[in-house]
Amino acid sequence: MVMGHRGSGMNMLQSYDTRLKCIKENSILSFNSASKFPIDFVEFDVQVTKDDYPVIFHDNFIGAEDKGVFKEQRVTDITLLEFLSYGPQKEAGKVERPMLRKIKDGRIFEWKVEKDDSLCTLQEVFEKVERSKGFNIELKFDDQIVYKEEKLEHVLRVILQVVNKFAKDRPILFSSFQPDAALLMRKLQSTYPVYFLTNGGSEIYADVRRNSMEEAIKVCLRGGLHGIVSEVKAIFRNPGAVTRIKEAKLGIITYGQLNNVAEAVYMQILMGVEGVIVDLVPEIAEAVFVVAHFFSEQELELAFLVEVMPE
């Protein structure tokens, strides 16, 4: 499976690669643009506003300039109307709040892309995105917050209410870095698979369940989850983990910038990885399509060896 990351790829405003600043991430335009290519799913991030509307946005905070000063608000602390006031407006005559983005190293960038689009809700995504494409819905929570079960359950039920009403026969899977959210989503419904997201130990968290592939497997087996979405480097550092995941009858999908390299994706096909979340949708979707339709596993392995082995 090929999955479009935040639609047609995440926006890296600090990058020199214009492909990562082409289409506004997590937008209807981005999802439908990705859907024109041979992909199976689009991946996106869902949060719930203060007045209980599931919206599509990756960052925990949304920022803009206010009287010359950068100010940001937590997405979950504002109303739907406040959220939708950022960026291009759907209604004629409405003035937008130009968005700014603060990246991990503290730098602030104007959120400027070649093809912009309005922010959107989960309901709109169900209603307006090509129906043949599946949704990988990442349940987004803040790593810095300790959530009580009642809060998690409330948020998940709000999301499920929209999913149950509008999903119809669309393929869906849920995923989350928040282990308790993933486990609770599995308890709250049995219609859609739930995957645990992990970076496989590249960062260390207070919650040990997030710190290794081995812990991720344990979480899935104890909670009846269906699989793991891993940062791709963790798979390459520890290829035996794929075997253990498969032996445990779990699914394995990867994300990360290496998935924008066709050779890295080819290698994962050989390893048994079942899906890749990618930013460069046209290039990787085409590469996987060609492999799936024209190469046997033996031919792919030979082609890969010829490509990477020195003379």
Classify residue 105: in a domain, yes or no: no
Classify residue 80: in a domain, yes or no: no
Classify residue 239: in a domain, yes or no: yes
Give the model's pLDDT for residue 290: 85
Q: Is 97 left (phi over 0), alpha (psi -120 to 50) or beta?
A: beta
Contacts of 233 (CB under 8 A, 6+ apart): 200, 202, 256, 258
Q: Containing domain of residue 237, as a range? A: 2-57+116-308
In sequence order, the β-bridge partners of residue 278 are 4
Taking the CA atoms of 241, 246, 251 and 252 in sequence, report the sign of the dihedral they define.
positive
For position 190, which CATH number holds? Answer: 3.20.20.190
Overall domain count for the chain:
1
The whole-number average pLDDT for the span 117-133 is 97
Give the model's pLDDT for residue 311: 47
Give the dihedral of Cα atoms 289, 290, 295, 300; nearest 10 deg. Answer: -90
pTM: 0.93
Give the model's pLDDT for residue 136: 98
Digit-coded pLDDT (tens) for 77-108: 999 999 999 999 998 889 899 999 999 999 99
Rounded to whole angstroms, what are the CA distances from 130 to 8, 42, 57?
14, 10, 19
The H-or-E segment that residue 269 falls in is: helix 262-271
Classify residue 242: in a domain, yes or no: yes
**195: pLDDT strictly greater than 90:** yes
Digit-coded pLDDT (tens) for 102-115: 999 999 999 999 99
Give the dihedral of Cα atoms 189, 41, 177, 187; nearest 10 deg. Answer: 10
**310: pLDDT strictly greater than 90:** no
Classify residue 133: in a domain, yes or no: yes
Name the band, by pLDDT with cuts 50, 70 and 90, for residue 292: confident
Classify residue 94: in a domain, yes or no: no
Mean pLDDT of the chain: 94
Residue with tokens 């669309």: 170
The whole-number average pLDDT for the span 227-238 is 96
Name the band, by pLDDT with cuts 50, 70 and 90, for residue 271: very high
Digit-coded pLDDT (tens) for 136-173: 999 999 999 999 999 999 999 999 999 999 999 999 99
Cβ atoms of residues 198 and 241 within 8 Å: no
Classify residue 99: in a domain, yes or no: no
Classify residue 84: in a domain, yes or no: no
Give the model's pLDDT for residue 302: 61
Percentage of the residues of the chain whose pLDDT score is greater than 70: 94
